[in-house]
Amino acid sequence: MTTLSSVKTTSGLASVLAMVVMGLALMFVAGHAQSATLHDAAHDMRHATGFPCH
């Protein structure tokens, strides 16, 4: 039982970690990356969510 529950916990934590990485990556691309195209496209929303822009 202990082994089963610890396997479940480990798999749960791995899923959580994967989700965190995906969320952070998307936030970086949409909100922080400074390529000119991305910046121009996301410009109004970066200002309107308070991300540091320019």
Partner 1 sequence: MFQRMLTGALFAGCAAGLIAALLHFAFVQEVILLGERYETGELSHFQGSAPEAPADHAHEAGTANDHANGAEAADPNALTRNGLTVLFTILIYVSYTGLLVAGFGLAETLGKRIGAVEGILWGIAGFVSFQLAPALGLPPELPGTVAADLGDRQVWWWGTVALTGTALALLAYGHHAWKYPLAVGMLALPHIIGAPSIDEYYGVAPPEVGAMFSARVLGVGLVVWAVLGWFAGQLWERSRTA
Cα 54 to Cα 47: distance, rounded to the nearest angstrom = 10
7 binds partner 1 (CB under 8 A): no
24 binds partner 1 (CB under 8 A): yes
Q: Tell which positions 28-47 bind partner 1, by CB under 8 A.
A: 29-32, 34, 41-47
CB-neighbour burial class of residue 30 (10 A; exposed 0-12, middle 13-18, buried 19+) = middle
What 3-state DSSP class applies to 4? helix
Q: Which residues bind partner 1 (CB under 8 A)?
A: 9, 11-13, 15-16, 18-20, 22-24, 26-27, 29-32, 34, 41-54
